[in-house]
Homo-oligomer: A and B are copies of this chain.
Amino acid sequence: MSNPRITLVNPNSLARVTEAIDRAVEPFRRLPLEFRCLTSTGGPAGIQTQAEADASIAPMASLIQQEAATTDAFIVACFSDPGLHGLRDLIRVPMLGIGECSVLTAMSMATRIGAIAIASAAVPRHLRYFRAIGVADRICGELALDMKVSELADAELAFQRMAAVGTALRDTHGADVLIMGCAGMADLRDRLQETCRLPVVEPTQAAVAMAAGRVFGRF
């Protein structure tokens, strides 16, 4: 019997982001699972606004429906979980979103969650979402890097901003766990954790962990 397959879909069209998502899966390759990371090529080139998140749903939904017969669990690999709840109605296998999974995982680690957003524009959207899924009381603050997704290519600059924001969440907002509010930054997780001296949840890894559990536990 072949190993179960988990398919991660990057709803934006940037192959570079899909590659980073693929690297995030690395620690789980020891498990008897097959991972496949797909780019939703019809999606927008980056998701910062609510409009971009909404625009990413239709092409991603088509892609997921094509893959549904040969996949045991799906992961929507954008922190805003575009289309997640609708896809759950359509597809029978476990359907997880990296935003939701990162918060749920952080909830099992500490009491006050600090969220690091890429762009300020994302913060009200995240807030609406945290409220929608009933977890807003656990978020003690969310701060944005206020860097463009493109600038994040300068990993050192991104890291320095992220560390500053994470430290502010810890010291000013009382965070005792941090979540990275974006896919594709797993490479920075360990270093951020050391610099901020707080556990850091990388959302793709949180979702892979929960997806693997669902696949083996058959629930």
- Residues of chain A having any CB pair with chain B under 8 Å: 27-28, 30-32, 49-55, 57-58, 61, 83, 85-90, 94, 96-97, 100-101, 104-105, 107-112, 121, 123-125, 127-129, 131-138, 174, 176, 189, 199-202, 205-206, 208-210, 212-214, 216-219
Closest Cβ–Cβ distance, residue A119 to chain B (whole Å): 12
Q: How many copies of this chain sit in the oligomeric assembly?
A: 6
Closest Cβ–Cβ distance, residue A140 to chain B (whole Å): 9
Cross-chain contact A51 with B55 (CB below 8 angstroms) = no
Contacts of A205 in B (CB 8 A): 217, 219
Which 9 residue pairs are nearest across A and B when measured between Cβ atoms?
A209-B213, A51-B86, A111-B124, A50-B86, A132-B132, A134-B137, A104-B104, A128-B132, A54-B86
